[in-house]
Chain A
C-alpha cells in the first residue's frame, strides 16, 4: 500500500478552528448558569481567540511551504491533498480577517436579533474551517468536502433566526447549492474517469497528454466543476439566489456570506485554476472570462436601480465577483488575492455601517441614509469611503489599485475585450455607488438618521476604515499577501 506523510503544522489552523468550534458549542450548551451577555462575551472572545491564533500562525509561517497528506506518485513529484504555501497563507489571511470581522460585527446586534449565540459561532467557525481547508486543498475530494463544510453551516446560519424570511433565504441558498454540488460532483466523476486521479497536479499533468476525444470530455467535466463553483460565488447566470438570501438573512450572516463564504468560493476556484485544471490557453479560462464579463455587467446593471441598501450591496457584490473572476480567468493569483483582501475589508465596513442603520431603521431603504453627512458625519464619511473604495475611485486607492491589478492581469494576458468590458463596468459600478453617496449628501433631509452608535460598532467601523486607509496609502501590502 501507499505511504502518506503529513506536516501537521500545515493543518494546524483548520484543526484549531474545528476544535474551537466544538469548544464554543460546548461552552454555550453546558454553561447555562451564566447570563446571556456573559456567555456572548465569552463565546465571542473564544471565537476571536481561535481566529486570531490562525492569523498569528499565518503571519509567523508566511512564505513557508508545508505539504500534508502526501503520497509518492507513480510519475513526477509527490501528490499531496493539502498544501500550505504562500498562496494559501494569503487566502487564509483574507478568510480569517473576514471571519474576525464578522465576529466583531456580531458583537453589537446579535443578541437583539434573536439568534442563538453558541450555534452561530459554532457554525461560523465550522464554515471557516471548511474555508481554510478549501484554500489549501489540492485534490478534488478534499475540495468538494471542504466546499460542503463551508456551505452547509452557511445555510444553517441563514435560517438561524428561524423566521419566515430566514427560512425562505436558507431554502433558496440550499437548493441552489445542492444542485451545484451535484453538478460539480458529476463533473468531478468524469474528470476522475478521464484522468484516473483526484490529485490536481496529476490531473493537470495527464490532461496535457490526452487524446482529443477524451479532451472534450475533460473539458465538459471541467466546465461542470467550474459551474459548481460559479453557483457558490454567484456568478451570472447562477446568481439569482444571492440577493434573496442576502435580504432574508440577518445582516451579520449576510456579511458572513458576502465575506467568508464568497471568498472561500473564490479561493477554491483559484486553487483549481492555478493548480492546473484550467491551464494557460485552456478554453476553460475563456469560460471563466465570459463568466466574469457577464457577472460584472449583470451585477452592476441590476444594482443600478436598487432601493434597499442590502440588496444594492448584494448585487454590487455580484459585480465585484465579476471583477474578481477577471484576473482569475488569467490565473493571476496575486491580483485575485489583493482584490479579495480589499473587497473583504471594505465589505465588512460597509455592512457594519448598514448594520448600524438597519438596527434603528429596519426598512433598510437608501432613503434612510438621506442627509447623513450632517446628522452622522463620522458614519457617513466612513460609509462614503467604503463605497468609493468599492467603486475604485480616489480616495479609495485600495479599490483603485486592486481594480488596476485586475486590469493589468487581463491586459498582460491579451484579453482586450474583457478589459473593455471591465472599463465599462467601472463606469456602471460608479453609477451604482454614486446613487447611494448622493443620498448621503442630500440636504435638507426631513428625518435624518441620528443615533448614539454603540461602541463596538464605532470600533469595528473605525477599524475597517483605518485598515482601508492604510491599504489605500500602501497598496503594496495587498499584493504582498500571496507572495
Chain B
C-alpha cells in the first residue's frame, strides 16, 4: 500500500503534466490550474498519509540502529532508515537500481514540496504571469514536483542524480518563458546561468558518486549507510569534496551562489517560490543524506571548511542584502544567508546541528515561500520590484500585504516563536557543541560570527520594512489600481502563515521525528 502511494507521489505529477500538454490549447488555463490544484492537493494528502503511516510504532528505525552498531556512535546522521522501500534492478550492468525509500527525514520535505506546489497551483487559479500559457506552467510545476519528490525519495545515488537533474530543464523554462517580462535578455541569462552552474555542479557530484561506487561497489544508500566508507583522505576525500561542491552549487553556498539572485529575481512568482522553497533544499538534503552517512570520515575532514564557507555565506549574504534595491533580489540573497545556516548545521555533524539544519530547511521553505509570494504580490501591483520605483509607505497603500510582509520578514530573521528560530538556534547550538572529532574552537568562533550574521539578517529585513512599508504616505500617494490582499492571495498565504506560527510555537512534533539522529 505505502509503496504504491510513494510511486503515485512520483508518477502522478508527471502523468498529469503529460495529460495537460495533451489537452488542446483551447482547454483554457483555468481548467489546467484547477487540475493542477486538485492533483497536487491529492498528493499533499498522500504525503501526509505516508507520514502518518510512518509514525506508527512499527517503524523499524530504532532496532535497526541498535542492530548494526553495538553501541552507536554519538551521531549516525542522515542515514537512510527506510520505511517504505521499493527496490528493483534497473540497469544491472551499471549497478543502478530503482530504489525508492522514505524515512522521517525525507517525508517532511516531501510534504513541504507538495504543499508549495499546491499553493502555487492555487495561486495560478487567479494570478498568472502576463505572458499566459498557464497550462504549460502548471505542467512544468508538476514535473518539477516529480523531480523534487523523487530526489527526496531516492535511495540510490544514481537515481538521486537523475531526479536531481529532472528539475533543471523545467525550471529553466519557467524562468526563461514566464520570467520578468521587462528584461528578456536578463531572464534568459539568469535562467542559463542557473542551469549551467547546476549542471556543472551535478556533473561533479556524479563524479563523486562514481568514486563511491568504485570504492564500495554499490550505489545503494541503505547499504552505504550501514557500511559507511571509512577513511578521511584519498579517494573518499575526493568524493566528499566533489559531492559537496555539487550540492553546494544547488544549495547554494558562497561563492557558488552567484546564480541565485538573478534566477530568483527574474523568475515568476511561482518559480521563485518553488526555487527557494524547495529546490535549494535538494542541496542540503543531499548533504545530510549522502555526505554524512556515506562518507563520515571524509566529511569530517571537510566539515570545518564547509562550516567556514557557510559562515561566509551568512555574512556575505546578509551584507549583500543590506545593499540591495530590489525586493526579490533581497529575498534571494537572504536565502543565501539562511542556507548558510543550514550548511553550518550540517557541518557540525552533531544531532543538534542536523536537527537544526532539517528544521531550518522546512522553515526556510515555508517562510521564503511566503516572502516570495508577497514580493510577487507587490511586484504584480507595481509592475516592478525595484524598491525606489515602488516607493515607500506601503503600510498606507497595501496595509494587509505589507503587514504580512513584515510578519514574514520577522519570521525570516529568526524571531523566537516563529518557525525560523528553532532551526537557527539549533544550528548555533550544534556549532557550540559539534561532533567530538571536529575542532571545537573553530566552530565556536564560527558560531559567534554566525550570531553576528543573525543581527545583520535582522538589520536588512528591518531596512526592507523601513524602505518599503514605512514612510510618509503623503509623499507616496496610493495608486488607483492597488488592491489590497485579494481572496486568492489570502487563501494561498494563510497556510504558510499558520504553519510559520505552528512550527515556531510547537517544534516538538517535528523534532520528535528526528530523535534517531
* A contacts, CB < 8 Å to B: 334, 374, 388, 393-395, 397, 400-401, 404-405, 407-408, 411-412, 416, 419-420, 422-424, 426-427, 430-431, 434, 437-438, 441, 443, 475-476, 479-480, 483
Contact = CB atoms under 8 A, between A and B. Distances in A.
A374 B131 CA distance: 14
B210 A408 contact: yes
Q: Secondary structure of the A side of the interface?
A: helix
B199 to A, nearest CB: 5
A431 B196 contact: yes
Interface stretch (B68-76, B85-93, B121-129): B85-93
B192 interface: yes
A420 B210 CA distance: 12
Nearest to A473: B90
A393 B173 CA distance: 14
Contact of A419 (B177, B199, B207): B207
B1 interface: no
A20 to B, nearest CB: 34
Interface string B159-177: 0001101101100110011
Q: Secondary structure of the B side of the interface?
A: helix
Contacts of B93: 334, 476, 479-480, 483
B199 A426 contact: yes
Task: Give the bracket for the number of chain B residues in contact with chain A.
Answer: 35 or more
B392 to A, nearest CB: 37
Given A407-B207, A427-B203, A400 B169 contact: no
Given A394-B169, A401-B91, A441 B176 contact: yes
Contacts of B204: 420, 423
Contact of A423 (B90, B158, B169, B200): B200
Nearest to A427: B200
B162 A400 contact: yes
A473 B255 CA distance: 37
Interface string B184-227: 00001000100110011001101100110110000000000000
A427 B94 contact: no
Given A420-B204, A479-B94, 16 more contacts: A393-B165, A393-B169, A394-B147, A397-B162, A401-B91, A401-B96, A407-B207, A407-B210, A412-B214, A419-B207, A422-B203, A423-B200, A423-B204, A427-B200, A441-B173, A443-B133
B151 to A, nearest CB: 11
Contacts of A401: 91, 94, 96
A322 B113 CA distance: 39
Contacts of B207: 407, 411, 416, 419-420, 423
A395 B166 contact: yes
5 contacts: A393-B169, A416-B207, A416-B238, A423-B204, A475-B90
Contacts of B96: 401
Nearest to B196: A427
Nearest to A479: B93
A411 B172 contact: no
A438 B173 CA distance: 8
B214 A394 contact: no
Contacts of A416: 207, 238
Among B199, B210, B213, find the residue whose CB has the most chain A CB atoms closer than 10 A.
B199
Contacts of B210: 407-408, 411-412, 419
Contacts of A374: 25
A48 to B, nearest CB: 31
The 8 A-B residue pairs whose C-beta atoms are closest, nearest first, are A423-B203, A411-B210, A479-B93, A427-B200, A394-B166, A476-B91, A426-B203, A394-B165
A189 to B, nearest CB: 39
Contact of B168 (A393, A407, A411, A441): A393
B94 A404 contact: yes
Nearest to A397: B162
Given A426-B199, A434-B172, A441-B173, A408 B94 contact: yes
Contacts of A443: 131, 133, 177
A416 B162 CA distance: 22
B192 A479 contact: no
A263 B111 CA distance: 47
Interface string B269-291: 00000000000000000000000
A441 B177 contact: yes
Given A394-B169, A408-B213, A423-B207, A430 B195 contact: yes
Nearest to A384: B169
Contacts of B203: 422-424, 426-427
A479 B93 CA distance: 7
A430 B94 contact: no
A434 B238 CA distance: 31
A412 B90 CA distance: 20
Nearest to A426: B203
Given A393-B168, A407-B210, A412-B214, A476 B195 contact: no
Given A411-B211, A426-B200, A404 B158 contact: yes
Interface in B77-115: 90-94, 96
A47 B238 CA distance: 53
Contacts of B94: 401, 404-405, 408, 475, 479
A427 B195 CA distance: 9
Nearest to B95: A408
A430 B177 contact: no
B169 A388 contact: yes
A397 B161 CA distance: 11
Among A401, A405, A408, A476, find the residue whose CB has the most chain B CB atoms closer than 10 A.
A408
A427 B166 CA distance: 15
A400 B165 contact: yes
Contacts of B166: 394-395
Contacts of B214: 411-412
Contacts of B195: 430, 434
Interface in B417-463: none
A360 B211 CA distance: 49
B91 A434 contact: no
Nearest to A434: B192
A303 B204 CA distance: 23
Nearest to B14: A395
A437 B173 CA distance: 9
Contacts of A411: 207, 210-211, 213-214
B165 A479 contact: no
A410 to B, nearest CB: 8
B23 to A, nearest CB: 11
Contacts of B163: 394
B207 to A, nearest CB: 5
A444 to B, nearest CB: 9
Contacts of B177: 441, 443
B97 to A, nearest CB: 11
Contacts of A480: 93
Among B92, B168, B204, find the residue whose CB has the most chain A CB atoms closer than 10 A.
B204
Nearest to A413: B214
A419 B242 CA distance: 12
B229 to A, nearest CB: 15
B327 to A, nearest CB: 27
A64 to B, nearest CB: 20
A87 B214 CA distance: 24
A427 B249 CA distance: 13
Contacts of A424: 200, 203
A479 B199 CA distance: 24
Nearest to B198: A427
A427 B199 contact: yes
Contact of B176 (A420, A438, A479): A438
B91 A475 contact: yes
A379 B188 CA distance: 24
Contacts of A400: 162, 165
Contacts of A419: 207, 210
